[in-house]
Amino acid sequence: MFVVRFILSNLFGMVLLVAILLAKRILKNKVSLKFHYHIWFILLFSLVIVFLPMSLFETVGLGDITQQITAPINNKPGSVLVPPDMPEDWRYDFTEMTSATNNGELDFLVITLWVIGVLVVGIFYYMGSRRLRMIKRFAEPMQDNIVNIYHNCYKRICPKRKICLMQSDLITSPISFGCRLSYIILPCHVVNHSSEKEIEHILLHELTHIKHNDIWTNFWLCAEQAIYWFNPFLWWAFAKMRKDREAYCDWSVLNGYNSKEERLSYGDTLLRFASQKNNTMSYTANGLFDDKKQIRYRIERIAEFQKETKASRFIGRSFIFLLTLIMVLQVPAFAMVASDFGLSYQPKRGMTTVECDYSQYFGDAKGSAIVYDLNSDVYQVYNSSVITKRIAPCSTVKIFSGLNALEKGIITPSENTMKWDNMPRGISAWDRDQNLYSAMSNSVNWYFQLLDKSVGAEELEEFYARIGYGNEYIGGDTSYYWNGSKLKISPLEQVELLIKLYLNEFGFHKENVDTIKDAMFITDINGNKLYGKTGTGKIGSNDVNGWFIGYVESKANVYFFAVNLQDEANANGNAATEIAFSIFDEMGIDLNK
C-alpha cells in the first residue's frame, strides 16, 4: 500500500501548496519575509510524513476491544480430526483466481520507475557535490584585508560555526556549503574588483545562510526533489522556497543596518552582480546571486523593507499554526491507509478476548483464528493483531450470496435448482445441475454467479452494505468480486456476521435463514452439529488464502469460528479446516466419532 500512500501524499501536498500560496497572497506585506520563508517548511514536513513507520499510523489494532488476558488454554499438540463419515468434497474448495498478481506487478513497475527517477536526480546532485569538492580542493587562502572584513562580519552575525574563508577562480558567484566544517568561497574577480562595502554585503549574506542552517535545508530540499522528481508542481514550489530563502536572508542582513542608505547600498551590490553570468549554480550550496527574475524579486523586497512588529509576528505565527493543523490532517488519512483505506475493521462494541497460542497448527503460515463462545460472550483469539485486517473472503461469501438470492426471491427454500449450461469447468462436481445445497457443498462458482447476476450489482452491494459485510464494495461486476480485487472482510467480521445470521438479527425471513443454515450443514457428531463454509484464494497454481468459517451447535452452547491462513502455497480451505478441527479438539469440542 506504499504506492497508495505515496499518491495520497502528493495529492495532500498539492492541497497544502495551494493553502500556502493563498496565505502568502492574503498576508503579503502584512507579515515579514521570515514568515514567507518559514511557511514553506510546513510543506517540507508534510512530504516527509509518508515515509514514517506505518505503525505510527495504525491507531488501534482491535478498535475499542477490551482485552481480558487470562491463563491460556492447554496448548497440547493435537491431531487433525476429520470424522470418517464426513464427506470429503466440502473441504476442497474449488474457487476463483485472485487478481493479486496484477496489483503486485503494477506496484513493482511503478516503484521501479520511481527508483530510477530518484537515482537519476540523485546522480545530478551528486555531481554538483563533486564539483563543490573540486572547487574546495583548488581554492586559495583569502587576502588579509578580506579576512579582517570577515572577522567583523562574523562578530555581527555570530553563526557559532567553524568556517573556512577562501577564494577561487573556478566560480563566478560567492557560495557557502559544508556541514561539519562550513566554507565560504568568493570568486577571485569579486575579491579583486569589489569595494570593502560590497565584500561586507557578500560575507554578511553568506554568514547569515550558515547561521540559518540553510546548508542542511539545501540537502533536505535536494532529497525531496529527488523523491518527488515526477511532480512539477513541487519542483516549482521548491524554486519559490529558494527564492524566499534568499529574500529572507537579505531581510535578516538588512535588520543589522540602521539607515535606509545602508540598506539601499546592499541592494546596489545585488544589482551590480545581477548582470554577470553565473556558472556556479549548485542546489547543494548557497549562493548570493541567482537568475535575474529572483534578483528583481529580492530588490523589490529590499525596497519595501520593514522590520517585524509584534502584530506581524503574531499574524504570521497564527497562520503557520493554522497551516500546521491542516498538515496534521493527513495523519488520520494515512491511518486509514495503514488500514488499507478502510480495510481494517474497527469493532463497534467492547469485547472480552482470551489470547490463545495456536501457532503449532499454523506452522510457518501466517493467519489468525477466532472462536466465540455464545454463552460466556468470550472470544478466544489467536494472533489478535490480524483478526481485524480485511482480506478477500473467497467462497465464504457464498453464504450471504445465497441468503440474498432467497430474500430477493431469485430462489426459494423449495425451488432453488439451476440447470447446468453444459459448459465443462474441469471439475466434475460442477458439471451438472445444482441446487443450493450441492452448490454450497461443492462451492460451485457458476451457480452463485448466476444468483448474483440475477440480483444485479447495485442491489447486491446494497445488501452487503445493509448487513455490514466487510468493506461492502463489489464494484460494477458481479462475476468475481470476492477474488481479492474488491470485496474484503476480516476474520472478526466473519464471526460477527455468523452470530447475527444464527440469531437472525438482520430480520430476514426465518425460512430463508433456516435454508442457508441447512445448506451450510456439514455433519452431526455426538450431538455436535457442524455448519461451515471453506474458501480458497489462488495466485496461479498456488493456494495463498485459506478460509474455514462456521459454527458448532451443541445441546448446551454454540461456538462460532473463523480460521484464516495465508502463505505462498498450500493455504487453502482444506488446511484451514484442519487447523479448525485441531482447535476444536483442544477446546474439548467433540467432533470425533
Instruction: Summarize the chain as % helix, strand, coil (round to 5).
Output: 50, 15, 35
Q: Residue ranges of the chain with pLDDT lower than 70?
A: 1-2, 53-107, 274-292, 331-342, 485, 592-593
pLDDT of residue 62: 37
Residue of 168, 368, 395, 441 with catalytic role: 395
Q: What is the 3-state secondary structure (H, E, C) of 303-324?
A: HCCCCCCHHHHHHHHHHHHHHH
Cα–Cα distance between 460 and 361 in angstroms, integer? 36
C-alpha cell at 486: 474488491
Burial 520-536 (b: 16+ CB within 10 A, else e): bbbbebeebbbbbbbbb
Distance CA 550, CA 353 (A): 19
Can you give the pLDDT at residue 89? 54
Residue positions counted in the chain = 593
pLDDT for residue 302: 87
Q: How far from 321 is each of 9, 19, 296, 331, CA to CA, in Å?
A: 20, 13, 30, 16
Q: What is the pLDDT of residue 251?
A: 93
DSSP state of 356: -
**368 and 387 Cβ atoms separated by less than 8 Å:** yes
Contact at 8 Å (CB) between 381 and 356?
yes
Q: What is the secondary structure of 202-266 as a DSSP string? A: HHHHHHHHHHTTHHHHHHHHHHHHHHTTT-HHHHHHHHHHHHHHHHHHHHHHHTT--SHHHHHHH
- Encode pLDDT of 372-402 as tens digits: 999 999 999 999 889 999 999 999 999 999 9
Cα of 295 vs its chain's centroid, Å? 40
Closest CA to 485 of 117, 158, 96: 96
CB-neighbour burial class of residue 15 (10 A; exposed 0-12, middle 13-18, buried 19+): middle
Nearest 5°: the CA angle 569, 370, 484 is 45
Contact 482, 448 (CB under 8 A): no
What are the residues whose beta carbons fall under 8 Å from the beta carbon of 504, sequence distance 6 or more? 510, 513
Note the pLDDT of residue 179: 82
Residue 395 is a catalytic residue: yes
Q: E strand or H helix at 109, and its extent?
A: helix 100-138
pLDDT value for 67: 38
Backbone CA torsion sign across 463, 466, 468, 470: positive
Amino acid, res. 256: G
Instruction: Supply the DSSP string of 512-566, one letter for each residue.
Output: HHHHHHHHHEEEEETTEEEEEEEEEEEETTEEEEEEEEEEEE-SS-EEEEEEEEE
Burial 122-154 (b: 16+ CB within 10 A, else e): beebeebbebbeebbeebeebeeebeebbeebb
What cell was used for 435?
441446487
Instruction: Please name which of 558, 72, 581, 572 lies closest in space to residue 367, comparing C-alpha atoms.
Output: 572
Three cell numbers written together for 11:
495529492
- Please tell me the predicted confidence (pLDDT) of residue 248: 93
Per-residue pLDDT at 59: 42
